[in-house]
Structure 1
Amino acid sequence: MVGSVIWVGRSSIEIQLDVIQSPKEESDVSHSVALAANFIFVARDSKTGKAAAVNRLSPETEREKFLFEEAEARSKLRKKKRVDRRKLENGEVNQLEALLAEGRIFCDMPALADRDSILLRDTRLENALICQPQQRNIHGRIFGGFLMHRAFELAFSTAYVFAGLVPCFLEVDQVDFLRPVDVGDFLRLTSCVLYTELENPDQPLINVEVVAHVTRPEIRSSDVSNTFYFTFSVRPEAKATKNGFKIRNVVPATEEEARRILERMDAEMPQQNQ
């Protein structure tokens, strides 16, 4: 496992982690990357809680410069999305309308709705738990890996129920840690299939969203602590065992759902173009 800082901003740090795996039968063969992940951390002042400046990074080799430039481009894209999040261009308005058109049929004339589609809200699953002391990290908060594990289990179950076959996990698209989770917190995890990609019939893609809420009934509050995005597919050999197998298209019933779908699609486009 190899990790390094590949980019820094004023207070942000991006770290790339590669899991290196060499073939067992040929130990002298050059190592290959089995898994790659990028983590973004933000430095905070321990007293004020505000952003703290971090040391500059000076890439030297060609690879270091390449990774730095890629990370810089991702940072600019994130900033642009934050600025433009509430500004819809004409094309995006048209996309919203197109997504909502079929959803309105489901809501207003369900008997005439496309049988190859399903409402986003009908793909939802949910579970809940009380966070225990054995799940905390060295800082006394609930370990992020535990949250990811529980989110993955729910996402896998969501894809399983949706597809009707055991799904094949492809990737973790994005994980956001928006606020800490403490011991004793009542944590609710809700999931849904955001959208599917059916262009490649041999490998249809199922994009699943999981949102974690820290819920406090005594003060009537529920805050989002984490969001997780996973991509699954179904293996061709599994599909062959089920005649007439077909992944359904997911459509939103509300504008809020349509916006979430578009935001996720937009976030995926730069990764697919790399």
Structure 2
Amino acid sequence: MEFNSSSPRTIPVVSTFASPFDSSSSSPVNRKPISLWPGMYHSPVTDALWDTRSKVFERLFDPPKDAPPQSELLTKTPSQSRTSIFYNLSSDYILREQYRDPWNDVRIGKLLEDLDALAGTISFKHCCDDDSMTRPLLLVTASVDKIVLKKPISVDIDLKIVGSVIWVGRSSIEIQLDVIQSTKESNDASDSVALTANFIFVARDSKTGKAAPVNRLSPQTEREKFLFEEAEARSKLRKRKRGGDRKEFENGEVNRLETLLAEGRIFCDMPALADRDSILLRDTRLENSLICQPQQRNIHGRIFGGFLLHRAFELAFSTAYAFAGMVPYFLEIDHVDFLRPVDVGDFLRFKSCVLYTKLENPDQPLINIEVVAHVTRPEIRSSEVSNAFYFTFTVRPEAKASMNGFRIRNVVPGTEEEARRILERMDAAALQSGKCVRMET
């Protein structure tokens, strides 16, 4: 099975029989590998991606001890890194059961794992110099720019994810992924895109740990050039936000803070007089904790970024469910930064809350959930933020129709710190929305 940097690659994920209850397929040849049975941790797609990556690049994983870094950067095209994976959901019973949620859609959390794993494979493919005498780069997920669900993803229809590198900086790479699900009703290719995601990876020298340059990218088609320019604009915007935007925000925030805090003070000081259609932010919180296990690590030995996305999503979904009293429907994940690595054995705590709601459109109320992941070290009494995730949900139309007259509450902060977090996220969402409008026009 050949796989080189100049040819696109589709990674199949298939089962060998239709049902685990089918006794006719008792031959060992037809048995499903145990790692692909329901109940195992990593998704079959993630396992297949890592297995493919390991086999293809296995000679690069064990270079000589004194191997030098890559000496000459190559120029590659987006098509050289383009990779796809195919989910045979319509006929593969076991695969379908692994991805089914209670509402017969695909489990988004499990799909997030696959997106991160595929983005890692694509970035690795772009950075590979095909030289076993140089040491390979260490590639880590730096951030997720945005993940947007465009339409429901059915678990009964075949699915494909296609991705490629669309932009590179000196040591960073942006990968765009499209989740595609075609139906008989949709003949237009653009209508088949169910979800889009943009991942940013950074390259580190595997020996020194310092930022390392990556191969250049040469977009060929008009579409590739357009995506490159969009990604370049996003990179510049991220740099500006890390720079001097904070002072401008602080100068204009005093009145907005006071307005947000006014209702919260009534809840805290005169709860009997508070608005019954509102709720304090602190009363929407949920939390879970875990010790990171070896089964959750990636091929570099650290906790898999897709695992963090998966766990954060499922806590966010639960938070929105408990808050709304109706089954939530996922819309998007806002920009995510991976601030520090998470290692096997770390005590990881996920804390969630409803940060704010938007109720102007009664047909599609928006519930914005914040999930913060903390790496806690009880031995030295420390706790550091590893990731902050921001999810947007609405409610399923069928769930809303069954709740006669039920109304989603407004969320109000009880402290100045909570009010600041709300304003920062509102401003970030408004900036992102404005940027999307400008790009479309």
Fold match (TM-score > 0.5): yes
Deviations 1:3-39 (A, max 9, x none): 122122232221111122222x479764721211000
The offset of 1:80, in angstroms, is 1.8
Distance 1:176 1:33 in 2: 25
Match of 2:199 in 1: 39
Match of 1:234 in 2: 395
Q: Partner of 1:261: helix, strand, or coil?
A: helix
The offset of 1:97, in angstroms, is 2.3
Among 25, 30, 53, the residue aligned to 2:213: 53
Q: Partner of 1:86: helix, strand, or coil?
A: helix
Closer, same or farther in 2 for the Cα pair 1:207/1:29, shift >3 Å?
closer
With the length of structure 2 as denominator, give the TM-score of the two structures.
Answer: 0.58
Matched, 1:128 2:289: yes
Match of 1:223 in 2: 384
Distance 1:125 1:27 in 2: 39
Distance 1:244 1:136 in 2: 46
Closer, same or farther in 2 for the Cα pair 1:120/1:27, shift >3 Å?
closer
Q: Partner of 1:50: helix, strand, or coil?
A: coil
Shifted more, 5-14 versus 211-220: the winner is: 5-14
Distance 2:187 2:412 in 1: 50
Distance 2:299 2:323 in 1: 38
Deviations 1:211-248 (A, max 9, x none): 11111111101111122111111123312222221111
The offset of 1:154, in angstroms, is 0.8
Match of 1:84 in 2: 244
1:67-82 correspondence runs (5 A): 67-82=227-242
Among 200, 216, 225, the residue aligned to 2:361: 200
1:123–1:192 Cα contact (<8 Å) kept: yes
Distance 1:69 1:40 in 2: 15
Match of 1:174 in 2: 335
Distance 1:202 1:14 in 2: 35
The offset of 1:112, in angstroms, is 2.2
Distance 1:95 1:202 in 2: 27
Matched, 1:251 2:412: yes
Shifted more, 203-212 versus 77-86: the winner is: 77-86
Distance 1:85 1:49 in 2: 30
The amino acid across from 2:318 in the alignment is: S
Closer, same or farther in 2 for the Cα pair 1:235/1:269, shift >3 Å?
same
Match of 2:423 in 1: 262
The offset of 1:161, in angstroms, is 0.8
1:137-148 correspondence runs (5 A): 137-148=298-309
Matched, 1:14 2:174: yes
Distance 2:186 2:235 in 1: 38
1:213–1:226 Cα contact (<8 Å) kept: yes
1:212–1:225 Cα contact (<8 Å) kept: yes
The amino acid across from 2:200 in the alignment is: I
Percent of counterpart pairs with the same letter?
85
Among 223, 236, 246, the residue aligned to 1:63: 223
The offset of 1:164, in angstroms, is 0.9
1:170–1:233 Cα contact (<8 Å) kept: yes
The offset of 1:202, in angstroms, is 0.4
Shifted more, 135-144 versus 108-117: the winner is: 108-117
The structure whose RCO (Cα within 8 Å, separation 6+) is larger is 1
The offset of 1:207, in angstroms, is 0.7
The amino acid across from 1:108 in the alignment is: D
Closer, same or farther in 2 for the Cα pair 1:199/1:218, shift >3 Å?
same
With the length of structure 1 as denominator, give the TM-score of the two structures.
Answer: 0.91
The amino acid across from 1:268 in the alignment is: A
The offset of 1:194, in angstroms, is 0.8
Distance 1:89 1:61 in 2: 43
Closer, same or farther in 2 for the Cα pair 1:69/1:269, shift >3 Å?
farther
1:19–1:36 Cα contact (<8 Å) kept: yes
The amino acid across from 1:219 in the alignment is: I
The amino acid across from 1:4 in the alignment is: S
The amino acid across from 2:400 in the alignment is: K
Cα root mean square deviation, aligned: 2.0
Matched, 1:160 2:160: no
Structure whose residues are more often strand by fraction: 1
Distance 1:227 1:40 in 2: 16
1:174–1:230 Cα contact (<8 Å) kept: no
Distance 2:273 2:337 in 1: 39
The offset of 1:191, in angstroms, is 0.3
The offset of 1:85, in angstroms, is 5.0
Q: Partner of 1:16: helix, strand, or coil?
A: strand
